[in-house]
Structure 1
Amino acid sequence: MIKLAIIDDHPIVLAGLHQLLEGHPKVVITGAFGDYQQLLEFLPGSEIDVLLFDLQLPGVDPVQLLKTIKSIKPSLKVLVLTNMDQVFTARTMLVAGVDGYVLKGIDQSTLVEAIVTVSEGIQYIDVSLRDEICNIFLGTDDGLPLLTEREQKILELISQELTTRQIATQLHLSTKRIETLRTDLFQKLHVKNSAGLVRKGITLGLIPAQ
């Protein structure tokens, strides 16, 4: 029996998931939380195998919350359950360390399949996003390799039209280092300038469309 916890700030969603999974022979819900602070207080010493994780919790960045959750309970498998169907968002969370990503509205059998899969240490991605995500991670889009966390951040800041100096200040790096990393991005994405970098990043789902 897989011990499952859920965090979602919408009571209707929590009630719906309880109804959907109640009595299932493979899953038992051991905790349901509408607030991330409640979850963080519950985690130490708890017996949870999988956490269903909503990305749109008020007052907290999902990537930072994920890192906190994993630091408290490294063995916990985190399965995102969200309405956010953008490839960029899914990729960001997968790079950050979630074990699976599925969209709300899936049926019971698919949700249980995802829960069981991640509990076994195997990544699960919603079928509607799977091909695009795999293309990015496996490099089938023009030989695109996976960007480092720092390269991803620089790409995002470039898309926001920040200058090299502004990016260096924000990331606490030298302007020379930023220029080197920008050049690395040009090579990885096979472009010649920042405008091309942004266009390619949007096309491949690495940054959101402006």
Structure 2
Amino acid sequence: MLDKIKVLIVDDHSVVRKGLKMFLGTNPSIEVCGEAENLKDAIKMTTKTKPDVIILDFKLPDGDGINGSIAIKARFPDIKIIILTAYTQNETVLGAIRAGVDAYLLKDIESKELINTIIAVYKGKAVLDTSVTEDVFNTLKIENTNIKSKSSLSLQETKILDMIAQGKVNKEIAESLGISDKTVRNYISNIFKKLNVSNRTEAATYWIRKINTQ
């Protein structure tokens, strides 16, 4: 039997925590390994339970989802973070993306979609709620030539960087561009060198910040 996906729930409302725990506990692929009501407890519980995925409320008594994600990712870079919130402002969503979150969902999400998102981020994908996706990526749009002139990236590298920022995995990028997985890996290696970054999150953060300052 495959190991279950360990999920930590972080929300200052006990009713929300218990509701999520009860619902997620009915799925055979998921194990709720703990709960926390603030960021301080979230760090402690993360150290203790070592979850695969954290469901993190955006507004907490001792901080927000952006600060929380930065703090968690700094200590536990491999843990996936899903922001679950009612906030839809572009600035909030973009801040969360910059902080390295793996998914941004609204609290009116359907139960099945939440399960699918947990499984997706566990497998390395990034997910944005459909109600905020269009606005966010409209904010991020910019001419490829402008990006190229500022970062010395080729047109193909810029396309790949764009897809990395959207959370696409190498196989999806390869299929979209009609090239091999190995070629995608080579391009990504060159992108990392040119941008002086060491991983996909840093590369995506560069892309988003560059676009958002135009």
Q: Tell me the TM-score normalized by structure 2.
A: 0.62
- For the aligned residues, what is the CA RMSD? 2.3
Of the candidates 28, 31, 51, which is equivalent to residue 28 of structure 1? 31
Quote the Cα distance in structure 2 between the aligned partners of 1:109 and 1:144: 40
Is residue 2:121 matched to residue 1:121? no
Of the candidates 91, 96, 113, which is equivalent to residue 93 of structure 1? 96
Would you say the 8 A contact 2:56–2:65 is kept in 1? no
Quote the Cα distance in structure 1 between the aligned partners of 2:141 and 2:124: 19
Would you say the 8 A contact 1:100–1:124 is kept in 2? yes
Cα 1:115–1:143 shift into 2, 3 Å: farther
Shift of 1:62: 3.2
Segments of 5+ residues of structure 2 without an aligned counterpart are 148-209
Cα 1:13–1:45 shift into 2, 3 Å: closer
In the other structure, the counterpart of 1:139 is 142
Q: Secondary structure at the match of 1:130?
A: helix
Shift of 1:130: 1.2
Would you say the 8 A contact 1:6–1:33 is kept in 2? yes
Q: How does 1:1-210 map to 2 (within 5 A)?
A: 1-44=4-47, 46-139=49-142, 189=214
Shift of 1:45: 5.2
Aligned length: 147
Cα 1:114–1:143 shift into 2, 3 Å: farther
Segments of 5+ residues of structure 1 without an aligned counterpart are 146-184, 190-210
Shift of 1:23: 1.8
Q: Tell me the TM-score normalized by structure 1.
A: 0.63
Quote the Cα distance in structure 1 between the aligned partners of 2:65 and 2:17: 18
Bigger helix share: 2
Q: Write the deviation string for residues 161-184 of structure 1: whole angstroms up to 9, x where unpaired.
A: xxxxxxxxxxxxxxxxxxxxxxxx
Q: Secondary structure at the match of 1:84?
A: coil
Cα 1:129–1:144 shift into 2, 3 Å: farther
Would you say the 8 A contact 1:70–1:76 is kept in 2? yes
Q: Secondary structure at the match of 2:7?
A: strand
